[in-house]
A = this chain, B = another copy of it.
Amino acid sequence: MDIIQFVEQSIGQWRSQRSAHHMAFSHFEAVQSIIDIDMLSGNDPAVVELCQAYDVDPSQAVAPFQMKWEGQSDWDEDNPEVKGSAILVPVPDPVVPQRGKLLRDQGYAETIAAAGEYHFLDDGTFVLITAYERAAAEERIWFANPNLRFRVSLIKTSAGSGVVTASFSSEIRSSKA
C-alpha cells in the first residue's frame, strides 16, 4: 500500500458510524455522519497555498484531496451538529515512500492547520501522528474490503502517553463519487 493507492481507495461518499470513548469518565458518544472525499488537482490554489505555508515544493505533493463531513452526535443536545471540511496534501518521503507528511489546513483536535507524519504498517494500515501545541492525535485507518473501512482515532496529551479520547468509526461507502 502506498499513499496514492490509499487515497484512490478512499475517494467517494461514506456513511460513518463513530463511537467515542471519553476515558476519564467512561462516557460513550455516538455520531452518525456522511463523509465525502474528493480528489483535488495539484494545481488547485488551496493545495499550492498549503504547500507554501509549510515550505514544501508543490511538485512533491501527491494525490491531494478534500474531506467534508456532516453528522449528528447524541452527546451535546444543544449543539448536535458535527460539520467541517479539510484539505489534505500528502508529501511522501523521497527516500522511504512508505512514509511522509500529511499537510492539512484544519485539524480535528484544535481546528488549526497542522502537518502530521504518516506511515503504513505491513498489513496496509495507514497510521498518522499529528502533534499539536497542547495535544497529539493518532489515527489508524484500514480497509476490511473496498467498500468498508475502519478508523481508530486517539486524542492524547501532548506528552503522548495519556489518552483523553479514543474513537472508532466504521465507514461504509455509499457511492464512488
* Chain A positions near chain B (C-beta within 8 angstroms): 15, 17, 19, 21, 23, 26, 28, 30, 32, 121-123, 125, 127, 144-145, 148, 150, 152, 154, 156, 161-163, 166, 168, 170, 172
In the complex, the answer to whether A166 meets B145 with C-beta atoms within 8 Å is no
A168 cross-chain contacts in B, Cβ below 8 A: 19, 21, 152, 166, 168
How many monomers of this protein are in the complex? 2
In the complex, the answer to whether B163 meets A144 with C-beta atoms within 8 Å is yes
In the assembled complex, the Cα of A32 lies from the Cα of B21 at a distance in Å of 11
In the complex, the answer to whether B163 meets A148 with C-beta atoms within 8 Å is yes
A21 cross-chain contacts in B, Cβ below 8 A: 17, 19, 168, 170
Q: How far is the CB of A72 from chain B (nearest CB, A)?
A: 12
In the complex, the answer to whether B26 meets A28 with C-beta atoms within 8 Å is no
Q: 4 smallest A-B Cβ distances: which pairs?
A: A168-B168, A19-B19, A28-B30, A21-B170
A163 cross-chain contacts in B, Cβ below 8 A: 144-145, 148, 170
In the assembled complex, the Cα of A28 lies from the Cα of B21 at a distance in Å of 13
A161 cross-chain contacts in B, Cβ below 8 A: 144-145
A125 cross-chain contacts in B, Cβ below 8 A: 121
In the complex, the answer to whether A170 meets B121 with C-beta atoms within 8 Å is no
